[in-house]
A = this chain, B = another copy of it.
Amino acid sequence: MRAAIAIDVESGTPIHRQIYEAWRRGILSGRFRKGDRVPSSRELALALRVSRSTVTQAYEQLFAEGYLETEQGSGTFVSGELQQHALQPATNAKTKATVRSVHLSKFGTGLVRDFIYPPQPADHICFSRWSPDIERFPLGTWRKLLARHMRTPNRKLLDYAREAQGYEPLRREIAGYVARSRAVECTPEQVLILNGSQQALELCARVLCDPGDTIGFENPGYLGTRRIFDAHGVKLAPASVDAQGIVVGEIAPQARAVYVTPSHQFPTGVSMSLARRLELIAWARTQRTVIIEDDYDSEYRYSGPPLPSLQGLAGDVPVVYCGTFSKVMFPGLRIGYAILPEALVAPFRRAKWICDRSTPALDQAALADFIADGHLERHIRRMRRLYGQRRAALIDALRQHFGERIEVIGEAAGMHVAVRTSETQLGERAQERKVQIVSTRDYYFGKPRRDEYILGFSGLSERSIREGVKRLAGVA
């Protein structure tokens, strides 16, 4: 008897698996049809010259999965349960590419392109990042704190979180930290632990706004947040930023919420003045608008103490205060938080549960210790000193090589410097000279400025910074 199927003894795949696959594919493709008799295990073993137990192993799986059935006394058959019309050619990974196009939601359709970081060639000096210098993060301390929770584990940390709001000791530490450093007024019950400020802002979009609603937005403003509201179908109503911050008179009166970066406006680097803060709060009170305070870069201020947060000044005006550990620890940690007015705690917590239930608890426990043991504030102090020196080197080099042709705008704060220049095509020339700087062009709604750039300094050594500015000026 000729075997209905072929096997390859040289192939790496076990013989019983090959037999199983051959019948399975044969049945699914319609080559073998329901009711077809299949050889007995003895017959097939003879035909293929393999042991009977090998065939039996394959057949058992085919029986178990419902491909074959036996009829008492008359043999083995392709199962009559399988509806012939349901069978179609089986495919492999390659033909998967032909999956027909799928209907997407408005949200799914609106996600137009990936957020791509520009390539950073090794021989370029890149002022195009404003990320923390992760080489300086005390990773050994972090490892020990994590290990502590895994060595004598609180098994609750490994289980589903009882609730989505976050690990209580961490919420307590964060409430203390933002009170000390940012004059935020809150209880631990108002703190919601999230995956970075990205998730905090995404929840703001979803919980506060319906598609078609309007949000007040700084112009120029942070693209990352803009994409979140865009994706959600929220209309962005731009309001200019002047030397004191967002121009309150320009905020759309119908805005559900207004998004601001008061500590160090992105990209201009402006700190919102106290007068402007109070004006914004008074306006929000009248308009019944929520303030979304993205307190980005608040930790790094190099001259004088930072202004207290809007949240701490706002009284009865609802402020969602968003913070993150990405900039003061490392971005891959993915832990941030929102400080919520009490009326918003439950809806935000429930939304977090819907989205992904909770943020990983072991990391939360280690972070609670990292703050409680003073490591966080110590690390921030150290980095403030380091970044302050790097910023000073950048400003100094710019003065030396460009003089009046480059004006630094914004506060002595954060991880980047915003500049305006009288040089035309500084950006294009930078590229030729193997330096990367970023135009603020993409951050504007409507007509952008052509003379404005941002230079990130936090990840570069003073030496690289000086060398980069020299190259930029064409003197290196």
| Complex Cα gap A207–B202 (Å) | 15
Q: Please determine whether B288 and A103 come into contact, CB atoms closer than 8 angstroms.
A: yes
Q: Please determine whether A104 and B202 come into contact, CB atoms closer than 8 angstroms.
A: no
Which chain A residues in 428-447 approach chain B with CB under 8 Å? Answer: none
Check A198/B356 contact, CB under 8 A, given A81-B273, A157-B332, A342-B96: yes
Which residues in B have their C-beta under 8 angstroms from that of A163?
114, 116
Binary interface encoding of chain A residues 265-289 relative to chain B, with 1 for a CB under 8 A from any of its CBs, else 0 = 0000000011100110110010010
| Complex Cα gap A350–B157 (Å) | 30
Check A359/B334 contact, CB under 8 A, given A155-B135, A315-B95, A341-B102: yes
Q: Please determine whether A332 and B159 come into contact, CB atoms closer than 8 angstroms.
A: yes
Listed residue (A142, A161, A206, A363) with the most chain B CB atoms within 10 angstroms of its CB: A206
Comparing A37-45, A58-66, A462-470, the segment that makes contact with chain B is: A58-66
| Complex Cα gap A208–B109 (Å) | 9
Q: Please determine whether A79 and B131 come into contact, CB atoms closer than 8 angstroms.
A: no
Which residues in B have their C-beta under 8 angstroms from that of A99?
316-318, 341-343
Binary interface encoding of chain A residues 254-269 relative to chain B, with 1 for a CB under 8 A from any of its CBs, else 0 = 0010000000000000
Which residues in B have their C-beta under 8 angstroms from that of A158?
134, 137, 139, 330-333
| Complex Cα gap A333–B113 (Å) | 29
| Complex Cα gap A201–B87 (Å) | 28
Binary interface encoding of chain A residues 78-96 relative to chain B, with 1 for a CB under 8 A from any of its CBs, else 0 = 0101110111111111011
Q: Please determine whether B356 and A231 come into contact, CB atoms closer than 8 angstroms.
A: no
Q: Please determine whether B332 and A207 come into contact, CB atoms closer than 8 angstroms.
A: no
Listed residue (A99, A151, A360) with the most chain B CB atoms within 10 angstroms of its CB: A99
Residue A1 CB within 8 A of the other chain: no
Residue A386 CB within 8 A of the other chain: no
Residue A150 CB within 8 A of the other chain: yes
Residue A406 CB within 8 A of the other chain: no
Which residues in B have their C-beta under 8 angstroms from that of A363?
360
Total residues of chain A contacting the partner, CB 8 A: 129
Residue A176 CB within 8 A of the other chain: no
Comparing A46-54, A182-190, A370-378, A417-425, the segment that makes contact with chain B is: A182-190
Which residues in B have their C-beta under 8 angstroms from that of A134?
155, 158-159
Residue A307 CB within 8 A of the other chain: yes
Q: Please determine whether A343 and B102 come into contact, CB atoms closer than 8 angstroms.
A: yes
Check A105/B207 contact, CB under 8 A, given A117-B162, A316-B91, A316-B99: yes
Q: Please determine whether B86 and A351 come into contact, CB atoms closer than 8 angstroms.
A: no
Nearest-Cβ distance from residue A469 to partner chain B, whole angstroms: 24
| Complex Cα gap A105–B229 (Å) | 13
Nearest-Cβ distance from residue A389 to partner chain B, whole angstroms: 21
> Which A residues have a C-beta under 8 Å from some C-beta of B?
28, 60-61, 64-67, 79, 81-83, 85-93, 95-109, 111-117, 131, 134-135, 137, 139-140, 142-143, 146-147, 150-151, 153, 155, 157-164, 185-187, 190, 194-196, 198-199, 202, 206-210, 213, 227-228, 231, 256, 273-275, 278-279, 281-282, 285, 288, 290, 304-305, 307-308, 313, 315-318, 326, 330-334, 341-344, 346-347, 349-351, 353-363
15 A–B contacts, CB within 8 A, in A order: A82-B278, A83-B279, A87-B278, A88-B315, A89-B315, A91-B316, A96-B316, A96-B342, A100-B318, A111-B354, A113-B350, A114-B353, A198-B357, A202-B355, A355-B355
Contacts A160-B331, A198-B356 aside, 11 further interface pairs with beta carbons under 8 A come to: A66-B307, A83-B279, A88-B285, A90-B315, A99-B342, A100-B318, A100-B343, A104-B347, A139-B153, A195-B357, A198-B355
